Amino acid sequence: MAQINNIKPLTFTVRRRTPELIVPAKPTPQELKPLSDLDESQVSRVQVSSIYFYRGDQKMRNKNPASVIREALSKLLVFYYPFAGRLKEGPKGKLMVDCSGQGVMFIEAEADVTLDQFGYPLLPPFPCLDELLYDVPGSSSILDSPLLLMQVTRLLNGDFVFAQRLNHTMGDAKGITQFNLALGEIARGASTPSILPVWQRDFLCTRDPPRITCTHHAFDEVVGAGENFIPQKDMAYRTFFFGPNEMSNIRKLVPSHLKNCSTFDVLTAYLWHCRTIALQPDPKDNMRIIFPVDARSKLKSFIPVGYYGNVVGIAAATSTAEELTNKPLSHALELVMKAKFDVTEEYMRSQTDFMVIKDRPQFTIVGGFIVTDLTRAEMNIVDLGWGKPAYGGPVAGAMYFTSGYLPFVNNKGESGTAVAICLPIAAMEKFVEEMNSILAQDNNNQDYNLPVLSIL
């Protein structure tokens, strides 16, 4: 795997206009819309941010991207009018959207920097992020605050940055991408989105009576102390690229009966295995892998096209550190594949009921490794009139317990997956060493060429 050096020392000045509220271009229904029980889990009661970098386009040289997006947003809110409302809490903590038409928070800004100055590769973490997505005072609460905040920052040479922050209860990655693709369609001249939004959050509410019929390891109750706090100065942050050659070499370690595994399956198993070895936990410690699964394909019987709420199954698997460390890669791979396979319609029903019965628990992070696969989320194809972004995706790449998978094309033109990893410094060195040693193993009397660890 190639290591990507994406630490970019860069400073620049951003000048912002006064934040404003963008309201729907036409009158919209004034009503209360309850969220689904899946929407209002603690996992979703957070703000999530994404960012899109666009290069200037000669044919758009007379267009102000902030003006184009502002106008398109107002028109789009006629269709997605709940986003212009505010979240309220009803009896027993039930969340609902007050479709008041108060508007989405919008900021126009400009900065004295070009897109090229952000360097290569264009991946998180991004410099001066707080300037590119300004946290307007009083706007970040889950309740009674704008459900969307957007900032359009014009750069030099016609480049610009479109950044947004979303109240996660309103939708998942697929849902917000649906919104952004529609925003692009309106910005490019369409009068209506090609996919009309569907609310109908009652699709994912609890059964009567609610009942837990599946095991949900992501929320296991663990007795004992949590993970020790590790100061930021003792952490290392690196991003690795897994292209065709790297994945081919890893797949050579997969036994024949598991050859139908996906790239996500084998990469996740590989990272979980290597990370566990690097952290050197007690052999008897339970380690867990947790990852969201877009369950729309599992729920076609009642999830219509256009539904933009949260439809995420939380898959999880556990293993002792001793097993993950000493057994071959196939052990972790089988666990990952089974966890993903287990996300069925019944699993989703059980998970929804579980959230209510257990009073909306958080993930269990003790011994946990949470990975989010955004390689197919289509965030990198959002066209606002200036073509596809040079980067479109989350603003952050990884924290100690989490990693994100992003689509990436390296400087050789190879398409693959960029994976951000954050670990204690000593563990990071061990992690890299272990990844390389696995790929260098002799398997079935065949030697494998070790990919050169290099800076792109």
pLDDT over 90 (residue 8): no
Tell the residue number behind the tokens 């009674």, with chain if given. Answer: 144
Q: What is the pLDDT of residue 228?
A: 56
How confident is the model over 53-94, as pLDDT tens digits?
Answer: 999 998 898 999 999 999 999 999 999 999 999 999 988 888
Report the distance separating Cα 178 and Cα 195, nearest Å: 8
- Residues 265-285 have pLDDT tens digits of 999 999 999 999 999 999 999
Give the number of other Cβ atoms within 10 Å of residue 89's Cβ. Answer: 13
| pLDDT of 131 | 95
Q: Hey, which residues are catalytic here?
A: 168, 383
- Per-residue pLDDT, 4: 67
Please give the Cα distance from 219 to 221 (Å, whole number): 6
**What letter does residue 330 receive in the DSSP assignment?**
H
Write the burial class of residue 78 (CB in 10 Å: 0-12 exposed, 13-18 middle, 19+ buried).
middle
301 vs 296 pLDDT, higher one? 296
3-state secondary structure 108-148: EEEECCCHHHHCCCCCCCCCCHHHHCCCCCCCCCCCCCECE
pLDDT tens, residue by residue, 368-379: 999 999 999 999
